[in-house]
Chain A
Amino acid sequence: MEYIFHILILLSIYGILALAQNLVMGGTGLLTIAGAAFYGIGAYVAAILATKFGWSIMAILLIAPIIAGLIAFLVGASFARFRDDYFMLATLGFLMIFNTVAKNWETFTNGSFGIAGIPKPYILGFTLDMPMTFVVLAIFILIIVVTVSYLISRSSFGRALNAIREDEDALQIFGYQTSRYKLMIFTIGAAFSALGGVLFASYITFVDPNLFTVNESILLWAMVILGGIGRNRGALIGALFLVIIPEILRFIGFPTEFAGLMRQCIYGLLLVLLMLYQPRGILGTYKL
């Protein structure tokens, strides 16, 4: 039972991250690799504020998205001049910078040792220290993110984002200052990712720089592409698959010496098969 709740918590966290990634990448066509960076910023803000300044996780859940959003706003404003592949490289650069700072700013981040002992959330006299209780908070945050994501994609704003993905130059001719739209969704996506980061830090109670590398960003890409680009439901399905598949492979019972390797192989094979036979993802509506 514990284990099921554990998986549900992971699902909620990755669901949040995949939704954020989908809004920016699937909905707007901005190929960002900075997903893991804002996830990491959320996690590190939680770790630092909670262990060094004694903030409660609930307060951090409110403040971390604002901090991440602010950083995304500043970074995004300078990225606005880049398009497509160049935007991708710029966000990759940002992820590298974040990683380097996390590794080297030892006074705050403890460098490669990471920060341990992050407290569990405490609310109305309860400490959510069991997966069974933590899952309630995780799902609650997921529901908020799902709701907002749906509101965004169904609004005029969401329609304009899709048009940016389709043909940004043509949309500008019709009176849209597209850079503002892109900056706004980049900021919102970062704020959502940070929520996932806070949940993760508080649940695992430990963060270190290696958790937030380009691998993590690519995992988010895989979730969005696998589920179906540009669809909120697709992002959730992608997260479901990519969280559950490794867990199922755990039960197949490979000899321990190459269990990990086999898992990676099967995981890779599944992705290749999907690319071959269902290149638009499981829901399959749009392509980039």
Chain B
Amino acid sequence: MKYILETKNLVKSFGGVHAVDHLSINIPEKMITGLVGPNGSGKTTLINMLSGFSPHNSGEIFFSDVERKKIMPWENQVYGITRTFQQVRLFDQMSVLDNILVILTERAPFYALFERHSGYHLKCAEDILKKIDLYEKRFHNAADLSYGQRKLLEIGRVLAMDANIILFDEPFAGLFPEVIKKIEKIVLNLKQEGKSVVLVEHNMAIIRKLCDHLIVMDAGKLLAEGHPEKVLSEKIVLEAYLGE
């Protein structure tokens, strides 16, 4: 198995508390990797570090065997990484269409000044919006969308980034079954396109259905790693989840 993302002895502490404690994991390429663990086990913290949202204190992070000592969030585009947020973070007072377009257009400020968006960008954005069923709402402000639609729009932004590594932070939380099915389809599609997906999720049924590889964390440490069925039947994992 080839790994697209590796961490070695990764540490992140908040005032003496190790949110992530000497964590060494491997994320296989072109697969869906589940990331589970009780609340506060460091899953979101890990995603924040991998996406440059907050710096790690010590340890090493490798993307495709290249170590990145300091991860700057804006370099994500170069390295082909994107993510969603557990607490949805959209550009609220912008239209749904603009929320997607801003991900598609020029990043260098000076060039951006002389570009609006090409027909190509517009078509891409509209295709994405059709995929996530928000095309009709494209001129509405993101703030006016319902919770489920907001979650979908975040996934739309991920599709717009067209990244190689996608970190989903609880994309299914609190959604209607129909919407869950739609997002499951999108995630499976991404895998088929050869993307590597990391999926933080609490629902074991979804984990069993989607994931090829599973990582279980507890209190910032790695508890178990491997094939989902095998990992989920391990005693230590059952104890962490169900108690003694």
Contact = CB atoms under 8 A, between A and B. Distances in A.
Contact of B109 (A166, A169, A175, A180): A180
A90 to B, nearest CB: 21
Contacts of B91: 162-163, 166-167, 170-171
Contacts of B114: 155
Contacts of A287: 93
A174 interface: yes
Interface in A153-194: 154-157, 159-160, 162-163, 165-167, 169-178, 180-181, 184
Contact of A177 (B74, B89, B90, B103): B74
Q: Which of B98, B109, B110, B157 has the most CB of A within 10 A?
A: B109
Nearest to A285: B93
Given A170-B85, A172-B74, A177 B112 contact: no
Contact of A169 (B73, B77, B110): B73
Contact of B113 (A157, A163, A175, A285): A157
A169 B74 contact: no
A286 interface: yes
B106 interface: yes
B193 to A, nearest CB: 19
A162 B93 contact: yes
A175 B74 contact: yes
Nearest to A173: B73
A155 B73 contact: no
B113 A152 contact: yes
Given A156-B106, A159-B102, A184-B109, A170 B115 contact: no
A181 B109 contact: yes
A228 to B, nearest CB: 12
Contact of A173 (B78, B82, B101, B110): B82
A159 B53 contact: no
B103 A174 contact: yes
Contact of B94 (A155, A163, A169): A163
B74 A162 contact: no
Give the interface SS of chain A, mostly helix, strand, loop or mixed: helix
B31 to A, nearest CB: 23
Contacts of A286: 93
Interface in A112-162: 152, 154-157, 159-160, 162
Contact of B73 (A157, A172, A230, A285): A172
Contacts of A180: 109
A162 to B, nearest CB: 6
Nearest to B51: A173
Q: Which of B94, B113, B161 has the most CB of A within 10 A?
A: B113
Nearest to A184: B109
B182 interface: no
B26 interface: no
Interface string B57-76: 00000000000000001111
Q: How large is the interface on B (under 10, 10 to 19, 20 to 34, 35 or more residues)?
A: 35 or more
Interface residues of A, number: 29
Contacts of A173: 51-53, 73, 76, 82-83
Q: Which of B107, B110, B161 has the most CB of A within 10 A?
A: B107
B48 to A, nearest CB: 10
A175 B78 contact: yes
A156 B121 CA distance: 11
A221 to B, nearest CB: 19
Q: Which of A166, A173, A285 has the most CB of B within 10 A?
A: A173
Contacts of A172: 52, 73-74
B117 interface: yes
B123 interface: no
B116 interface: yes
A184 B93 CA distance: 22
Contacts of B90: 166-167, 170
Nearest to B161: A174
A177 B52 CA distance: 12
Contacts of A152: 113
A10 to B, nearest CB: 30
A176 B106 CA distance: 9
A190 to B, nearest CB: 16
A174 B116 CA distance: 18
A175 B116 CA distance: 18
Nearest to A154: B116
B103 A156 contact: no
Interface in A69-125: none
A171 B73 CA distance: 9
A154 B91 CA distance: 17
Given A167-B91, A174-B82, A174-B103, A155 B77 contact: no
Contacts of B82: 173-174
8 contacts: A159-B105, A160-B102, A165-B93, A169-B53, A173-B76, A173-B83, A176-B74, A230-B93
